[in-house]
Structure 1
Amino acid sequence: MRIVIARCSVDYIGRLKAHLPLATRLLIVKADGSVLVHSDGGSYKPLNWMSPPARLSAAPPDDTDAKAGIIDVWTVQSAKSDDRLVIRIHEHIHETSHDLGVDPGLVKDGVEADLQRLLAEQIHTLGDGYTLVRREYMTAIGPVDILARDADGSTVAIELKRRGDIDGVEQLTRYLELLNRNPLLAPVRGVFAAQQIKPQARVLAADRGIDCLTLDYDAMRGVDNSESRLF
């Protein structure tokens, strides 16, 4: 990755035209060919950019540009279209390059698989007397996240989401309709469990006789002790 701080103007030329007047900006040239133009505001979003595949070429200014104080002209040409980004540099303030290597990618914590594993291990979260039947209980329309039995021995189907919305309730409704056709399991009731449940989902779940359960992921994995909280 090449990082340049420079006083420059920027023109995007192609299907759309855009102009950034002369100012001090951060220019980022990535190994994948993308070039991004940032200011000291606007959060993470660049002011302008060229997506890969693209080719960057640098050339000395022509006589007109040189008289205007330009010392370097970058042209970033898209490989898929005629679009190009032209960066006219008036002053190089700082430049550095780093080889970042291959990024392993984002590893998400608290995904549905983690919630499923933790709730299966802590099935008592649902209430006293609950026992686990199995995770990923397969049906003809897909797997139910967790199948359990309550203290009375009745079957309970649990659908897990990180963020619970109406679609999740609809999904659980379809599972319940199918499971209740099985005389070995019926009657089967449902529990919709998530870290966050939208109000509309709660209303729909209540209308269909489905219980809602909000999961505290940090507490379940033992990094948050609710008894030590002041509030």
Structure 2
Amino acid sequence: MRVIVADCSAEYSGRLSASLPPAKRVLLIKADNSLLIFSELGSYKPLNWMAAPCTLKDVTPDSVEDADGPAPEHILRVCADKTSDVLEVSLYHVYSDTTYDLGIDPGLIKDGVEDHLQRYLSEQIDRIGPGSKLIRREYPTAIGPVDIMALNADGEHVAIEIKRHGGIDGVEQLTRYCELLNRDPLLAPVHGIFAAQTITPQARVLAQDRGFECLILDYDEMKGREDDSLRLF
């Protein structure tokens, strides 16, 4: 990662045209040659940028002043590989030009995604009712895996569909699973539970009309109930 702080201007040409007048800004140049221009104020988005795949060239112009002011010390010219787009950044005075090796980034790890909800609910299956037992997560069917298959206190099968934000599409998905599973005499009757952190009013009405139970999942509270009985410390 190369970070440049400089007085600069920029011209973008190609499918659209845009320009930035001279001002002090921060330039980020990544290992793939993509270049982003940031200002002190404004949102997190860059003022202008060229995304990879692209080619970057550092050009030293002739030191000749024109009517618009002094010539730039350097010009960074970034050309898109697949289009005619060009971003040209003129650097008039460079305050800092530093390169860092950031290494390989492991990526963003999200907390509270559907897989986490599924794991916690499988470990806390009593949330669907006292006496319930887990059969398995990702229960296979011919049209895809059911998030959780369980038995209720009466020994009847329960198919659970889990979403972060439950909408009508999730109810329809649970409907397809239950219709298929109830064709198997060894499983029927199979009840359905639609579980989510939030459920839209329309989805709740549809789920109840289909005979499904709606279950709101409090992720923070579920996370706080992690079983630590086998931990030494």
* Partner residue, 1:79: 81
Note the C-alpha offset of 1:155.
Answer: 1.9
SS in 2 for 1:139: coil
Task: Please point out which of 158, 162, 165 is paired with 2:164.
Answer: 162
Task: Please point out which of 116, 123, 128 is paired with 1:121.
Answer: 123
Task: Please say if 1:68 is aligned against 2:69.
Answer: yes
- Which consecutive unaligned segments of at least 5 residues does structure 2 have? 227-233
Partners of 2:67 and 2:102 in 1: how far apart?
35
CA distance 1:187–1:13, change in 2 (3 Å): same
The 5 Å alignment of 1:137-156 reads 137-156=139-158
CA distance 1:177–1:223, change in 2 (3 Å): closer
* Partner residue, 2:4: 4
* Partner residue, 1:229: none
| More displaced stretch, 9-18 vs 108-117 | 108-117
Over the aligned positions, Cα root-mean-square deviation in angstroms equals 2.0
Note the C-alpha offset of 1:200.
Answer: 2.5
| More displaced stretch, 75-84 vs 8-17 | 75-84
Note the C-alpha offset of 1:81.
Answer: 2.2
Partners of 1:22 and 1:210 in 2: how far apart?
62
Query: Deviation string for 1:177-207 (max 9, x for gaps)?
Result: 1111122222222101112223332222122
Partners of 1:196 and 1:88 in 2: how far apart?
50
SS in 1 for 2:145: strand
The 5 Å alignment of 1:34-49 reads 34-49=34-49
TM-score scaled to structure 2, two decimals? Answer: 0.88
Task: Please say if 1:103 is aligned against 2:98.
Answer: no
Partners of 1:58 and 1:133 in 2: how far apart?
62
The 5 Å alignment of 1:157-196 reads 157-196=159-198
CA distance 1:153–1:141, change in 2 (3 Å): same
Query: Deviation string for 1:118-163 (max 9, x for gaps)?
Result: 2111101112121122222222211111111222222211011222
* Partner residue, 2:95: 93
Note the C-alpha offset of 1:114.
Answer: 2.2
- Which consecutive unaligned segments of at least 5 residues does structure 1 have? 225-231
SS in 2 for 1:173: helix
Partners of 1:80 and 1:194 in 2: how far apart?
43
Note the C-alpha offset of 1:15.
Answer: 1.7
CA distance 1:49–1:65, change in 2 (3 Å): farther
Query: Deviation string for 1:58-78 (max 9, x for gaps)?
Result: 223332559722222221122
SS in 2 for 1:33: coil
Structure 1 outlier segments of 4+, above 3 Å: 64-67
**What percent of counterpart residues are identical?**
58
